[in-house]
């Protein structure tokens, strides 16, 4: 049976403000609050809320037959918490249906996986904690920023304990292979890979409202028929896109949500089901190994990382930023940590791209790639100065590595002790439970013995009372006997007085 894996990404750009060279050292706040609030409210009103309401309706109408997956960046969630909490509330409602899965991804929606493994692992862990706090789910599948993947990243994902990972079904990687199967990572055979169907995903997210497209207008039955006509052995169809495609890239006036809501019924008519990424990774078997020595993504025609690191400006900013990554791992300043997250976001580097083909790229306040580079580097210069005040540059790498090693060892020791505490607490609970059972059993026997001994106790009590009574009688006779002579003596004295 064919199955559709439908996944949406939710990430919100944190817009930087115009920051001049002369602001360095005097202004440590880097964000355009007005634009951040305006843009997220616009997207929430015109995309997120209508789309999530439509997905909720699809779940209610189709029950467990319809399933969907999401991933949310940590920085995107922070923006939603501040300016559009209703989006998170709706996602919490959806999570309670049991038909929604939440995936792991880097907290900053950044490029740490390309430069610093420790930073990448730390970010993913923090985002997973947020998923647990909000939705009560511990993600089993990882989705890197913009589906960035390579064999080395897959190995790290497996070492972090993930069952699977999403990535792009790029032609230059697949060759003659189809994206409609489960593959395994080349360096970590236990990690399963789910590959995005580029054509079917872009039919919705990029081409749906394009009147020049030869398949325009696209209807739900036509779309599902295209899936049904795939070779019988090709069972898995992964449709991945940004949630903002529903309402922003493809406006609501295009009837994109009506198209979406019609998909479950059309799929059911063709015997096609819906599955979550974890279900596919747990039940499905990998048919082959996928070798990805060079990094790929879902962006631009090249499906690589050139949109972020394709020119000298981008690489200079990237290397400068991650030159302080190790220092940031030991930072305890909340403001520094938050700025670090926002400055890592991929859009900061994409604004600097000089590539001619940039689908859906809006540079915002920047007039050119060089303008974006200059503004970002001014901010980064101030940020690095602040970090150096916390951790002076005089601390060399060896000393810093020693500090990091010590901290890591302490963290590992604390983790081991926490596990030991949990184990001992469980053991104590078992001992207390066994003790309660023994106590109940003992008290039950005691009561039973007491009931059996009740007649003997009554006989003993009667015997003791009789003995006591018998003991008191002789004492009374003696007392009377002693008193009698006294009375006789008094009588004699009285008679003597009369004789006188």
Q: Once rounded to an integer, what is the mean pLDDT over residues 278-294? A: 95
Predicted pLDDT of residue 477: 41
- Report for 299-308, 356-365, 389-398: range of highest mean pLDDT: 299-308
User: How far apart, in Å, are the Cα atoms of 293 and each of 149, 173, 297, 306?
Assistant: 9, 9, 13, 16
**Which has more confidence, 271 or 444?**
271
Q: Once rounded to an integer, what is the mean pLDDT over residues 257-286? A: 96
Residue 71 has phi, psi (to 5 degrees) of -135, 145
Classified as helix, coil or strand, 334 is: helix
Is residue 332 scored above 60 in pLDDT?
yes
Is residue 29 scored above 70 in pLDDT?
yes
pTM: 0.79
Predicted pLDDT of residue 480: 41
Closest alpha carbon to 18 in 395, 500, 371, 346: 371
Name every residue whose Cβ is closer than 8 Å to that of residue 395 and which is 6 or more positions away in sequence. Answer: 403
Predicted pLDDT of residue 35: 94
pLDDT 10s digits, 34-70: 999 999 999 999 999 999 999 999 999 998 899 999 9
Predicted pLDDT of residue 140: 97
Predicted pLDDT of residue 481: 41
Is residue 86 scored above 60 in pLDDT?
yes
**Which has more confidence, 386 or 393?**
386
Q: Give 474-479's long-range contacts (Cβ < 8 A, gap of 24+).
A: none
Helix (H) or strand (E) holding 479: helix 397-499
**How far apart are the C-alpha atoms of 296 and 288, rounded to whole Å?**
19
Q: Once rounded to an integer, what is the mean pLDDT over residues 64-87? A: 96
Is residue 440 scored above 70 in pLDDT?
yes
**pLDDT band for position 479 (50/70/90)?**
very low
Q: Percent of the chain, pLDDT > 70?
A: 85
Helix (H) or strand (E) holding 184: strand 182-185
Partners of residue 5 on adjacent β-strands: 238
Residue 385 has phi, psi (to 5 degrees) of -60, -40
**pLDDT band for position 456 (50/70/90)?**
low
Q: Once rounded to an integer, what is the mean pLDDT over residues 295-315? A: 94
Predicted pLDDT of residue 405: 72
Is residue 432 scored above 90 in pLDDT?
no
Helix (H) or strand (E) holding 8: strand 3-10
**pLDDT band for position 450 (50/70/90)?**
low
Are residues 237 and 180 in contact, defined by beta-carbon separation less than 8 angstroms? yes
Is residue 264 scored above 50 in pLDDT?
yes
Name every residue whose Cβ is closer than 8 Å to that of residue 51 and which is 6 or more positions away in sequence. Answer: 8, 243, 246, 247, 257, 260
Provide the 8-state DSSP code for 161: T
Q: Once rounded to an integer, what is the mean pLDDT over residues 305-311? A: 95
**How far apart are the C-alpha atoms of 247 and 223, rounded to whole Å?**
19
Predicted pLDDT of residue 308: 95
Q: Percent of the chain, pLDDT > 90?
A: 72
Classified as helix, coil or strand, 192 is: strand
- What is the per-residue DSSP string for 222-253? HHHHHHHTS-TT--EEEEEEEGGGEETTEEGG
Is residue 478 scored above 50 in pLDDT?
no
Is residue 5 scored above 50 in pLDDT?
yes
């Amino acid at each position: 049976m064919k199955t559709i894996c439908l996944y949406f990404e939710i990430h919100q750009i944190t817009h930087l403000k115009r920051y001049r060279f002369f602001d360095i050292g005097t202004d440590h706040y880097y964000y355009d609050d007005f634009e951040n609030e305006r843009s997220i409210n616009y997207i929430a009103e015109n995309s997120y809320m209508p789309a999530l309401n439509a997905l909720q309706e699809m779940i209610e109408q189709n029950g467990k037959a319809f399933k969907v997956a999401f991933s949310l960046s940590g920085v995107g969630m922070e923006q939603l918490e501040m300016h559009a909490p209703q989006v998170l509330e709706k996602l919490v409602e959806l999570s309670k249906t049991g038909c929604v899965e939440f995936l792991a991804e880097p907290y900053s929606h950044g490029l740490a996986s390309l430069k610093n493994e420790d930073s990448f692992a730390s970010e993913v862990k923090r985002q997973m904690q947020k998923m647990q706090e909000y939705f009560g789910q511990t993600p089993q599948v990882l989705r890197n920023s913009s589906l960035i993947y390579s064999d080395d990243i897959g190995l790290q994902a497996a070492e972090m304990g993930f069952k699977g990972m999403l990535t792009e079904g790029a032609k230059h990687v697949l060759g003659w292979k189809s994206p409609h199967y489960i593959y395994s990572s080349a360096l970590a055979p236990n990690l399963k890979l789910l590959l995005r169907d580029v054509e079917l995903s872009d039919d919705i997210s990029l081409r749906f409202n394009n009147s020049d497209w030869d398949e325009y207008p696209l209807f739900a039955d036509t779309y599902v028929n295209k899936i049904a006509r795939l070779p019988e052995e090709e069972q898995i169809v992964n449709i991945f896109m940004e949630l903002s495609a529903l309402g922003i890239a493809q406006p609501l006036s295009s009837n994109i949500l009506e198209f979406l809501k019609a998909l479950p019924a059309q799929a059911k008519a063709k015997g096609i089901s819906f599955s979550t990424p974890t279900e596919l990774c747990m039940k499905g078997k990998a048919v082959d190994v996928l070798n990805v020595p060079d990094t790929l993504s879902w962006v631009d025609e090249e499906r690589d990382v050139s949109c972020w690191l394709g020119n000298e400006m981008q690489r200079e900013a990237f290397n400068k930023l991650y030159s302080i990554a190790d220092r940031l791992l030991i930072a305890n300043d909340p403001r520094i940590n938050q700025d670090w997250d926002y400055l890592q976001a991929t859009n900061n580097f994409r604004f600097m791209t000089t590539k001619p083909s940039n689908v859906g790229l809006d540079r915002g306040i920047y007039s050119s790639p060089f303008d974006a580079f200059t503004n970002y580097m001014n901010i980064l210069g101030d940020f690095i100065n602040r970090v150096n005040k916390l951790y002076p540059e005089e601390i060399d790498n060896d000393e810093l590595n020693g500090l990091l090693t010590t901290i890591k060892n302490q963290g590992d020791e604390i983790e081991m002790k926490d596990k030991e505490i949990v184990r001992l607490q469980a053991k104590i609970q078992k001992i207390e439970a066994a003790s309660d059972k023994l106590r109940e059993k003992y008290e039950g026997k005691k009561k039973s013995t007491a009931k059996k001994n009740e007649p003997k106790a009554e006989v003993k009590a009667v015997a003791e009372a009789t003995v006591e009574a018998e003991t008191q009688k002789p004492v009374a006779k003696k007392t009377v006997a002693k008193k009698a002579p006294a009375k006789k003596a008094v009588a004699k004295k009285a008679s003597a007085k009369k004789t006188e």
